[in-house]
Amino acid sequence: MNTLMTRGIQALMVAVLIGAATFAMMRALPGDAAYRIAAGRYGYDNVDTAAADAVRAELGLDGPALPAFLNWLGDLLRLDFGHSLVSGQPVIAEIGHQLGASLSLAAVAVLLSLIMGPPLGILAGLRPGGMLDRVLLVVSTGLKAVPQFLMALILILILSVQLRLLPAAGYGAARHFILPALALALGLAAVNARIARDAMARIGAMPFYSFAQWKGLSPRQTLLRHGLRNVSVPLLTYLGLQFVTLVEGVVVVEAIFGWPGIGHALVHAIFSRDVPMVQGTALCLGLGFVLINAVIDLVTGRIDPRRAA
């Protein structure tokens, strides 16, 4: 109950801070906001001064900032995110569609990272200093050092341009998931592998692990009964922290691959000066971080042997 209450207070603070920060940053951007909004509505080739003036008068863009922000907070308390300044559609409806695409991509990326990283990390941790351990250290360090946008471009160049195995962009088929999910998953897998390796090496050196084998359990039984549960605690804890990295990567990777997700929508909303969309999207991402951390806290509390005892 205390955890949920703490996360609820954090969610409220996140909502206010993100709303204020995004509103202030959008107001501080140079250029004519009315012209950008009109361009988002009608296209850059069809925008003139008259269209920009009409948008400015319709939306009251020359009005004071504080009342506009207070109105947004009031709408937020009523769970009303407002309407997009470009499309005119409710922000919550547009975010709901885009969030589904982003969550599906993020889920595939996390699943791939867990399939690739922790098993190798556990095997390396069972024999610290061995060949696999040394190779994993080099490979994971290299993958972690590559920015996700660069990884995306490398994958496109190799698998799409050179080998012609996969489409460079697109959405709607299973093959469209592979490149963007890999671009996100490889860096996450590198970190997951090192966390699993360090946790396994630490647990394998503890007396209770050796005692389990001394009682007659095979190495496989010892790993399944006493190793995996302990390794999963730091791994799941880090998954909550990885959400930040995943969100940053999703914003860039979706733009590169033309993925119609929330990151792609955020980039277009910023260019179009669509303040309600920017506020709603950023708020959704921030609250998602709080929600995932709350879930991680509850799950680790259940599986951690030290807490269970």
Q: Is residue 118 part of a domain?
A: yes
- 161 and 16 co-located in one domain: no
- 183 and 71 co-located in one domain: no
Task: Tell me which residue has tokens 């290299």.
Answer: 142
Task: Dump pLDDT digits (tens) for 105-150.
Answer: 888 898 899 899 999 998 898 888 889 999 999 999 898 888 888 8
Q: Is residue 292 part of a domain?
A: no
Q: Which residue has the higher pLDDT, 228 or 106?
A: 106
- 65 and 146 co-located in one domain: no
- 67 and 189 co-located in one domain: no
User: Which structural domain, as residue segments, surrounds residue 49?
Assistant: 2-79
Q: Is residue 245 part of a domain?
A: yes
Our count of domains for the chain comes to 2
- 17 and 143 co-located in one domain: no
Report percent pLDDT > 70 for the chain: 90
Q: In the listed set 53, 79, 105, which residue is the last one of a domain according to the structure?
A: 79
Long-range contacts of 25-32 (CB under 8 A, 24+ apart): 26/270, 26/273, 26/275, 26/278, 27/65, 29/273
Helices of type H across the chain: 2-28, 33-42, 49-59, 65-77, 91-126, 131-145, 148-155, 175-204, 207-214, 219-222, 228-257, 262-271, 275-303, 305-308
Q: Is residue 130 part of a domain?
A: yes
- 64 and 208 co-located in one domain: no
At 244 the pLDDT is 61
Q: How far is CA 290 from CA 104, 156, 197, in A?
A: 19, 33, 27
- 36 and 73 co-located in one domain: yes
Q: Is residue 283 part of a domain?
A: no
Q: In the listed set 51, 79, 107, which residue is the last one of a domain according to the structure?
A: 79
The pTM (predicted TM-score) of the whole model is 0.74
CATH number reported for the structural domain that contains residue 257 in this entry: 1.10.3720.10
- 124 and 10 co-located in one domain: no
Q: Is residue 302 part of a domain?
A: no
At 14 the pLDDT is 79
- 166 and 253 co-located in one domain: yes
Q: Is residue 131 part of a domain?
A: yes
Q: Please report how the helices 175-204 and 131-145 are oriented relative to each other, as an axis angle in degrees rounded to 10.
A: 130
Q: Is residue 298 part of a domain?
A: no
Q: In the listed set 45, 79, 113, which residue is the last one of a domain according to the structure?
A: 79
Task: Dump pLDDT digits (tens) for 261-298.
Answer: 887 788 888 888 888 888 888 888 778 777 777 777 77
At 156 the pLDDT is 93
Q: Which residues fall within 8 angstroms of residue 9, CB to CB, at 6 or more apart?
A: none
- 155 and 221 co-located in one domain: yes
